[in-house]
Amino acid sequence: MSRKYALMWSGGKDSALVLDRARSSGLNVARLINFYEAATGRVRFHGTAVAMIEAQAAAIGIQLVAIGTTWAEMEARLVEELAAIRSEGFAGVVFGDIHLADVRAWYEQRVTAAGLEHVESIWGEAPAKLLGEFVHTGGRAVVTCVDLTRLDGSWLGRIIAAMPRRRSCTRVWRGRQRIPAPPATAARRAGMDRWFYRMQRLQAYESARCSRTNASTSSLLPLTTNLPSGRTDARSRMSAYVGAETTT
């Protein structure tokens, strides 16, 4: 039996792409690990509700360990979870870091100290290239968190479903307009579209609620909406709802 790996799952497009790559390379990803803010029930920075993370894991068909912590407790809870998976025979942990060297080093030090392999599948690759790969393989993402010092709140809920011909921007759609599907089988498109319209309804509710709750008190507006990432087999057509954080 192949060695088991855990994957640090944020619910975003990067972790979805890393999972796809890990599976394609033959890694046996047997567990998803997520840390969220205990007080809010949402993933830090992304603003995604833990209930959505649980729905993602159920759709993927991989066991999820979702751990609610405060910021002060984060390191101790991480070390505890690493020790637990090491005792269960896991070989390593897969991450989706791209360019933040201090973040990578922080996790790598603790993972290797626990006797586990630290795997970075997309480290150092160009973000535009990674987004292109994500879209080309059938992924769709929703902008779930906006820094209002860089973009306005209208970006919340925008759909990333295709790459533009120009490399300077990401093509997005809003509202209930039908999204042109990436190259895929008819069955895969149908599976994605069913979840797309279900999540659009949730998006409208969350967008209004979060705007009322956070617009006057915070520079970060979270929106909890995620869509499926298409794959080739019947089970994994619904394998991942993916969120996306806005970066500039």
- For residue 230, the model assigns a pLDDT of 37
* Residue 150, pLDDT score: 87
CA distance 101 to 114: 20
Q: How far is CA 105 from the centre of its chain?
A: 21
Q: Is the pLDDT of residue 176 over 60?
A: no
pLDDT at 39 over 90: yes
Average pLDDT of the residues of the chain = 75
Tell me how far apart the alpha carbons of residues 97 and 116 are, in angstroms, rounded to a whole number: 17
Average pLDDT over residues 179-206: 48
Confidence of residue 103 (pLDDT cuts 50, 70, 90): very high
Neighbours of 205 (CB within 10 A): 11
- The confidence band for 123, taking pLDDT boundaries of 50, 70 and 90, is very high
Confidence tier at 98 by pLDDT (50, 70, 90): very high
Domains of the chain: 4-120 (3.40.50.620), 128-245 (no CATH)
